Amino acid sequence: MAKSPFAKHPKHPTTRVAVLGLGRFGSSLARELVVHGSEVLAVDSNPRLVQQFADELTHVAVADTTDADALEQLGVADFPHAVVAIGSDLEASILTTSTLADFDIPRIWAKATSRQHGQILERVGAHRVVLPEFDMGERIAHLVTGRMLDYIEFDDNYAMIRTTAPRAVVGMTLTDSGLRQQFDITVVAIKRRGGEFTYTTPETVVSDGDQLIVSGAIADVEAFADLI
């Protein structure tokens, strides 16, 4: 029997991430990173916040994140990943991001409070900008109408949704339903009542109460959700 090409695949090394700013977003992110096995260095200028998370995170330090010398002494420049989690102080957010860019850190993520703020962060060196409040508001807007049970949007006009199977296709196979042809979407997985999600095939029959994972262009998956 042929051996799996992954049998001797080396274990992924521990990811090292510097999180600058321990507000609600930064502290939540840092905790999740630790839970998933990352080595985290968290830095904030507020001693109270640093003390609060000292027992939960790998490393914590009190420092001015806009001070390049202070960050260099802490070893931030040696981290392959860094997240600027500063939101309320725009000047500190921009200066910190610029400092990390000067360190040539390979992957810099930065939190923005507006699209304009995000554009500035990208100009000074952020590789990826996140707008937590905006993104969450957009996601909830899709869910609150009840058409979708979950919604994930990607950067390139692509989305995946979880929704209840429309009655119009109940009893049909996915091939016979014509969903791909009519809506240009793909039904990736299906969940029966009381069961778990499984991958679909063209011969999968849709039953009443099934939940579907559907992927496609944003406008197409929204049009499909309108059937519900």
d(C-alpha 165, C-alpha 148), whole Å: 10
Residue 184 belongs to some domain of the structure: yes
Residue 171 belongs to domain with CATH number: 3.30.70.1450
Same domain, residue pair 103 and 20: yes
| Pair 129, 158 in one domain | no
Is residue 137 scored above 80 in pLDDT? Answer: no
- Does 83 lie in the same domain as 106? yes
Read off the pLDDT band of 86 (50, 70, 90). very high
144-201 pLDDT, tens per residue? 777 889 988 886 789 999 999 999 999 999 999 999 999 999 999 999 988 999 999 9
- DSSP H or E segment with residue 212: strand 211-217
In DSSP terms, 121 is beta-bridged to none
In a shared domain, residues 112 and 175: no
120 and 210 share one domain: no
Task: Tell me which residue range forms the domain holding 171.
Answer: 146-226
pLDDT band at residue 11 under the 50/70/90 scheme: low
Q: For the chain, what is the total number of helices (H) and then of strands (E)?
A: 9, 11
Give the tens place of pLDDT for each residue, 94-130.
Answer: 999 999 999 999 999 999 998 899 999 999 999 999 9
Does the pLDDT of residue 50 top 80, yes or no?
Answer: yes
| Count of domains observed in the chain | 2
